[in-house]
Amino acid sequence: MILAALAEEPMHGYGVIQEVVALSDGRVTLRPGTLYGALDRLVEQGLVTGDHEEIVDGRLRRYYRLTDEGACVLAAEAQRLTSNADAAVERLRRRSGSRTRLAHG
């Protein structure tokens, strides 16, 4: 979700938190400690990098952006999730079809 949040443009931590909430329709809420730990790991892996910093209301705001490698990982994960969802939908379709045949047959 963090990679997806950063896919369009660089964001600061609070912006990432808000974007993850929006992307998940409110199902996922990241706490700051969780987010920054994850961002540190993503930076170490080369999937995210620091973009720039600014001071807002006397506080440092650090912006992060998705790297090209991060975009490739995000694309692969999106494809994996899509394949899993397609398989689940197909199984449900076959399940409801077999129940309909059993009920009528």
pLDDT of residue 96: 74
Q: Which CATH class is domain 2-104?
A: mainly alpha
Helices (H), 24-67: 32-44
**Cβ contact 17:30 at 8 Å:** yes
Paired residues of 65 in beta bridges:
49
Question: What residue segments make up the domains of the chain, in order of their start?
Answer: 2-104
Q: What is the mean pLDDT of the chain?
A: 91
Q: If you search the block for the tokens 């689940």, which residue do you land on?
A: 88
Question: What is this structure's pTM?
Answer: 0.83
Distance between CA atoms of 29 and 18, rounded to whole angstroms? 8
Residues of the chain with pLDDT under 50: 102, 105
**Measured CA distances, 94 to 23, 68, 81, 100 (Å):** 30, 39, 20, 10
